[in-house]
Amino acid sequence: MKSIIQMAPLQVYYSGLLFTPGSSLIRLGYLKNIPWIAMEPKVADVWSSLIQTLGGHTYDVKSAVFSPDGKLVASASYDGTVRLWDTSTGRQCGVLEGHTSFVSSAVFSPNGKLIASASWDNTVRLWDASTGKECGVLEGHTNCVSSAVFSLDGKLVASASWGKTVRLWDTSTGRQCGVLKGHTDRVNSAVFSPDGKLVASASCDRTVRLWETSTGRQCEVLKGHTSYVSSAVFSLNGKLIASASWDNTVRLWDASTGKECGVLEGHMSCVNSAVFSLDGKLVASASRDKTVRLWDTSTGRQCGVLKGHTGWVNSAVFSPDGKLVASASNDETVRLWDTSTGKQYGVLKGHSDSINSALFSPDGKLLACASSDKTVTLWDTSTRKQSGVLKGHTSYVSSAAFSPDRKLVASASRDNTVRLWDTSTGEQCGVLEGHTGSVNSAVFSPDGTLVASASQDQTRLWDIRNKATIEIIKTHDINNIMKFSNDEGHLHTSHGMLQLKSSPHSGSNWELPHTLTHSLYVTDQWITCNMKKLLWLPVEYRPSCIAVNDTANLIVIGSRSGRVIFISIDFTALPVAYLQPSVNVAAIEGKGFLGRLGC
């Protein structure tokens, strides 16, 4: 909270009160003084044990580790840096820069004098922990380095790579002294046994392998996980190994025999997507815990758990009549569910890789499934039989959308294109090129003449008659576009509503209609109103996915922790600053809300 106090002090009262534990006397006494919160998020009853949040990285933080004396923390981030933090004050005391791509992990040497960082630039770098200066680059990997670890005597570093190998390095010379080969897929982590005689490596090939450090010989293969193994660790006495997997289990192994001796189950996981039913009464959330959960939007309560998938559930969508939910999963299937009973209605099989999204046609008779196998499949929802396969993309297909008349499908892909398809013949009838990064979603306008597509850096508006871009909107968030507004002047996205500046139809009035002026939009850290910062989101409430119902002024946030929260805004009670762009927001907040608190 310290950083937000420095940046936006009034959020101490807005965000501070709203996300304070439910039993807090201050919250109970003063929350009523935020009248524009119509539905407040459910929070914990008591304070957690969290002491400090360290903010400074500009992208995902992939690992953090204490120095041996506990005085420092080193954090590795996809922003390409390692940052050092003073644990007593939370102050940043160093930024280690030099990697040319994501940094996946960082670790201190046993004596605390060195730091080793592993990066997607295929290198491990060694740093002086006291000065932050680079003192070595370990080169040799042919693919991303996922982790690095020191031996207990500090003489060796083991680095795990997506190139299916583990490499051993002499820290005094920086020379490579061993390559451990045997895995058939990416290696996610490697760790030394306490006596330094063994290395255990965890891989996407679903195994843990044990290696002799001195010879590089593979001496055991631990099999049992049914999905990627993300990490492995020895017990302090070196007799046991614990491995963590994407199959949501932890398995225990005897290090001397390689035999499995226990399975620990019960984990929940990240929420990948959330979507409203058309009547706004339900939300379906899809999770890495392999389930879809249904929620009552009026109360925020869970009202159903749809179980059956054997892999992450990437997305869920309601049929137009709200009677069915289709869920897309990494298990290469789409499952249909009856929303009234929660029972499985059908399993659609045919893809050869993860399915990223599914979408019903406007009449509910067809379902389009977008997959990492580079195809879109079409299904008849009444017979549950496949009616077409759309091939042409050269990379993952993120999403697909039907035109209003169901005659066309637009598919968005990581090959930086949107492709148009004839649903009756399955033939490609257009390629929309111009994005410079992966395209996450595409959607047709109500009259079917426009397509809006969203990538990591921009949103584009296309005229499909001539396949030309007619507007580019720069965005910093990875948007998923849900639909056009009825007047085609706005895009409803997963983060909120974006206004289009220019009309594709001559003579149209593209000013924001009065009924839509109060638009909500969610960034990584803020809920905004009319693009003005309204409510700061603490770290633990920040989104992995978002759904915004502009009609009900309701925001649903799914977090990486598995938490789903509901926040509803009453625009009639908002300070006038958020409704009138010419008024200074900070001044109104100070005179209004703080005045009521007696500050």
5-14, 50-59, 153-162: which has the minimum mean pLDDT?
A: 5-14
Q: How confident is the model at residue 240 (pLDDT cuts 50, 70, 90)?
A: confident
Question: How open is the CA angle 539-61-250, to the nearest 5 degrees?
Answer: 95
Percentage of the chain beyond pLDDT 90 is: 46
Model confidence at 357: pLDDT above 70:
yes
Q: How confident is the model at residue 31 (pLDDT cuts 50, 70, 90)?
A: confident
Last residue of one domain, picked from the residues 496, 515, 534: 515
119 in a structural domain: yes
Residue given tokens 């590089």 in the structure block:
216
Which has the closest alpha carbon to 531: 594, 593, 577, 592?
A: 577
547 in a structural domain: no
pLDDT at 267: 43
356 and 479, same structural domain?
A: yes
Question: Which tens digit of pLDDT belongs to each residue from 294-324?
Answer: 877 777 677 888 889 999 988 888 899 989 9
pLDDT at 574: 87
245 and 388, same structural domain?
A: no
pLDDT at 525: 83
200 in a structural domain: yes
pLDDT at 50: 67
204 in a structural domain: yes
Question: Which tens digit of pLDDT belongs to each residue from 112-148?
Answer: 999 999 999 999 999 999 999 999 999 999 999 999 9
**Mean of pLDDT values over 382-390:** 94
Alpha-helix residue ranges (DSSP H) falling in 22-63: 25-30
Q: How confident is the model at residue 249 (pLDDT cuts 50, 70, 90)?
A: low
| Stronger pLDDT, 58 or 220, i.e. the higher one | 220
223 in a structural domain: yes
497 and 370, same structural domain?
A: yes
The H or E element that residue 585 is part of is: helix 585-591
250 and 107, same structural domain?
A: yes
pLDDT at 481: 63
What CATH number does the domain containing 407 carry? Answer: 2.130.10.10
Reported pTM: 0.56
User: What's the domain count of the chain?
Assistant: 2
Asked if 285 and 292 count as a contact pair (C-beta separation under 8 A), the reply is yes
527 in a structural domain: no
Query: Measured between alpha carbons, how far is 561 from 392 in angstroms, rounded to an integer?
Result: 36
244-248, 444-448, 587-591: which has the minimum mean pLDDT?
A: 587-591
358 and 211, same structural domain?
A: no
Distances (CA, A) of 35 to 5, 462, 519, 574: 22, 41, 18, 8
**Mean of pLDDT values over 16-20:** 85
337 in a structural domain: no
Query: Measured between alpha carbons, how far is 417 from 422 in angstroms, rounded to an integer?
Result: 17
Last residue of one domain, picked from the residues 217, 234, 265: 265
Question: Which tens digit of pLDDT belongs to each residue from 559-572?
Answer: 766 778 889 999 88
Side chain identity, residue 138: L
pLDDT at 476: 56
pLDDT at 475: 66
pLDDT at 198: 95
359 and 259, same structural domain?
A: no
Last residue of one domain, picked from the residues 265, 289, 312: 265
354 and 261, same structural domain?
A: no
238 and 92, same structural domain?
A: yes
pLDDT at 226: 86
Structure tokens at 396: 């993952």
Best-predicted range by mean pLDDT among 6-15, 48-57, 112-121? 112-121
232-236, 342-346, 389-393: which has the minimum mean pLDDT?
A: 232-236
pLDDT at 68: 92
Question: How open is the CA angle 108-97-72, to the nearest 5 degrees?
Answer: 35
pLDDT at 127: 97
Q: Show the domain range for 179.
A: 61-265
443 in a structural domain: yes
Best-predicted range by mean pLDDT among 163-167, 280-284, 473-477? 163-167
Sign of the C-alpha dihedral computed for residues 357, 361, 367 and 368 taken in this order: negative
212 and 72, same structural domain?
A: yes
Question: Which tens digit of pLDDT belongs to each residue from 229-239?
Answer: 888 888 777 88
